Amino acid sequence: MWRTVTRPASGVLVRVLNARLAQGALILASALGVVCDARVHGKGETTADAYSAARTRMVREQLQAPGRSICDAAVLDAMATVPRDEFVPEAERPHAYEDRPLPIGFGQTISQPFIVASMTEQIAPEKTARVLEIGTGSGYQAAILAKLVADVYSIEIIEPLAQWAEATLRRLGFDNVHVRAGDGYAGWPEAAPFDAIIVTCAPDHVPQPLVDQLKEGGRMIIPVGERGKQSLVRLEKRNGRVMQTAILSVRFVPMTGTAEQRHNQRH
């Protein structure tokens, strides 16, 4: 946008014009920064303070609102503690605590806070639990789980996302999260069985390998269905059988890899 003047009409004139252009660029950059910053924090607040306040509002206004209340105190505490702003691209940080999904690149999104909290609550996490997550994304759901359970095993099919998530989780000290790049349809057999499984991408059927890797008495929460018409489903394994309950209608990115191949073969 801002171009340095190089035409040698006059050395003094050139220097003056260059200085004014440079000053204008700095003013514009500063103004854009202020506008972006103002979306998150007010006068006198640091960015960290502003994000902390935004998390508190998120919990109060989105997770404890009438008709969509999250009741588990430990889940609410994790949502109020884990910095969602660290798990989105820098350009999306001003929107980090809004009640909506956000793009994280590669055609993927980070789920809206209520969905993350609801899915976490549905598996009834316990301190000693080992949880499998399919669809690491940016690592936010894994970080929430890491606050609540002993170990999280997370699989992401898009390798650059897996690398970004792992680096973010390590930087923030979530050392009980184990990330693998690969096809989540097959689960993580060598680490099975799991007390709970969370799937954050939607196949059109429940993958049998995941059912097999669910411990007796364990719970799985998974979106199932075609694009644009999916149900969030909770499965509970009792006496070797799986009991299924539909929770709510949702819209997740489709599960790719083996799930997509099987879908295409049937259609």
Which pair of structure tokens corresponds to residue 184? Answer: 């989540």
User: What are the backbone angles phi and psi of residue 122, rounded to the nearest 5°?
Assistant: -65, -25
> Out of 111, 118, 138, 154, which one is annotated catalytic?
111
**Separation between Cα atoms, residue 263 and residue 254, nearest integer Å:** 11
111 is catalytic: yes
For 174: left if phi > 0, alpha if psi spans -120 to 50, otherwise beta; the answer is beta
Which pair of structure tokens corresponds to residue 238? Answer: 């009792």
Q: Is the dihedral of CA 9, 10, 14, 17 positive or negative?
A: negative
Report the catalytic residues.
111
